[in-house]
């Protein structure tokens, strides 16, 4: 039997290995816009795998900056699991929350997902694509942050633009030009990344080999990523480089922790934006399910 087929058929054993190592898997709200000519982005959360049974997969509830991201029962999810360079994807459904005992003193609420009947191995050149599904990950604009105090004006402009969009007001000509020097913080040359996942306090980016050299020279970065069509205003935030590692294809994985030292009030804005985005995705998916039933 070919090695790749054998590994695919033994996915349950691989999933158990992740659990035994106290490892993580990645989850995202499933959505398909191809029939409407739109292509929304997936936000992927890296969550700890807590327990397995014949019918269920139990994971920690995804969170951002200490705020849990609510996943409704019945919402379809896409899951990615990885061991080494091997990755698999599958679809599943959230079946609700359940108490999970961490230890003798602590019990937490956890997310329960249905155990899939089969999985698909990801294409080696694209770790988030299989024959039947693909995660569309957001691109991220990244600037080395030269003066951390200078983010205040730029992030306030970001918040005001979002408020105008929520109220249906026309976009302010000055505030919409987020790249204009009048509302940009003091930054170095821009480069691009891909938002691979979010965690409790930060995000993981995939950086190409040319841009990765910049990571060695700076610790603070100003980031911006857009999530249309659900959100018209991009999310901007400061990130502190925590760790990097080189992947087999010479791309660099960079872990950034959100940093609101010089603008603490912006933290709740970022949380609200992300929560709003996930809530819209779930609402639209459940409405589609109801129509097709």
Query: Domains of the chain by range and CATH?
Result: 3-136 (2.30.110.10), 139-259 (2.40.10)
Per-residue pLDDT tens digits of the chain, which is 293 residues long: 344 444 556 888 999 999 999 999 999 999 865 544 455 799 999 999 999 998 999 999 999 998 999 999 999 999 999 887 788 999 999 999 999 998 888 999 999 999 998 899 987 667 788 888 889 999 999 999 999 999 999 999 889 888 887 777 665 544 444 555 567 999 999 999 999 999 889 999 999 999 999 998 999 999 999 998 888 889 999 999 999 999 888 999 999 999 999 999 999 999 999 999 999 999 999 998 888 87
Query: Are residues 244 and 215 in contact, defined by beta-carbon separation less than 8 angstroms?
Result: yes
Query: Are residues 71 and 109 in contact, defined by beta-carbon separation less than 8 angstroms?
Result: no
Element (H, E) at 26: strand 24-29
Interior CA angle at 84 toward 78 and 88, to 5°? Answer: 25
Nearest alpha carbon to residue 11 among 95, 115, 112: 115
What's the whole-model pTM score?
0.88
Structure tokens at 124: 């080696």
User: Taking the CB of residue 94, how many other CB atoms lie within 10 A of it?
Assistant: 19
**Cα 266 to Cα 258: distance, rounded to the nearest angstrom:** 11
User: Within 13 Å of residue 91, how many CA atoms lie on the same side as its CB?
Assistant: 13
């Amino acid at each position: 039997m070919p090695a790749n087929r054998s590994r695919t058929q033994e996915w349950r054993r691989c999933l158990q290995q992740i659990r035994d190592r106290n490892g993580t898997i990645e989850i995202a709200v499933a959505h398909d816009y191809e029939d409407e000519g739109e292509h929304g982005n997936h936000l992927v959360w890296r969550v700890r795998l807590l327990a397995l049974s014949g019918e269920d997969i139990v994971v920690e509830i995804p969170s951002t900056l200490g705020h849990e991201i609510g996943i409704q029962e019945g919402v379809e999810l896409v899951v990615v699991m990885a061991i080494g360079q091997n990755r698999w994807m599958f679809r599943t459904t959230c079946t609700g929350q359940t108490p999970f005992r961490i230890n003798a003193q602590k019990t937490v609420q956890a997310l329960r997902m249905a155990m899939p009947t089969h999985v698909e191995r990801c294409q080696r050149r694209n770790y988030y694509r299989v024959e039947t599904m693909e995660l569309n990950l957001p691109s991220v604009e990244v600037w080395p942050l030269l003066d951390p105090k200078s983010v205040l004006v730029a992030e306030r402009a970001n918040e005001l633009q979002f408020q105008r969009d929520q109220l249906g007001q026309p976009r302010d000509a000055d505030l919409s030009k987020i790249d204009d020097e009048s509302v940009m913080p003091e930054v170095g040359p821009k480069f691009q990344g891909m938002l691979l996942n979010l965690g409790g306090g930060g995000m993981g980016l995939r950086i190409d080999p040319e841009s990765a050299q910049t990571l060695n020279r700076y610790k603070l970065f100003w980031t911006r990523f857009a999530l249309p069509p659900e959100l018209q205003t991009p999310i901007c935030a400061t990130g502190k480089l925590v760790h990097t590692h080189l992947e087999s294809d010479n791309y660099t994985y960079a872990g950034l922790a959100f940093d609101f030292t010089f603008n603490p009030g912006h933290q709740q804005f970022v949380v609200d934006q992300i929560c709003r985005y996930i809530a819209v995705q779930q609402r639209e998916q459940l409405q589609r399910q109801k129509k097709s039933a």
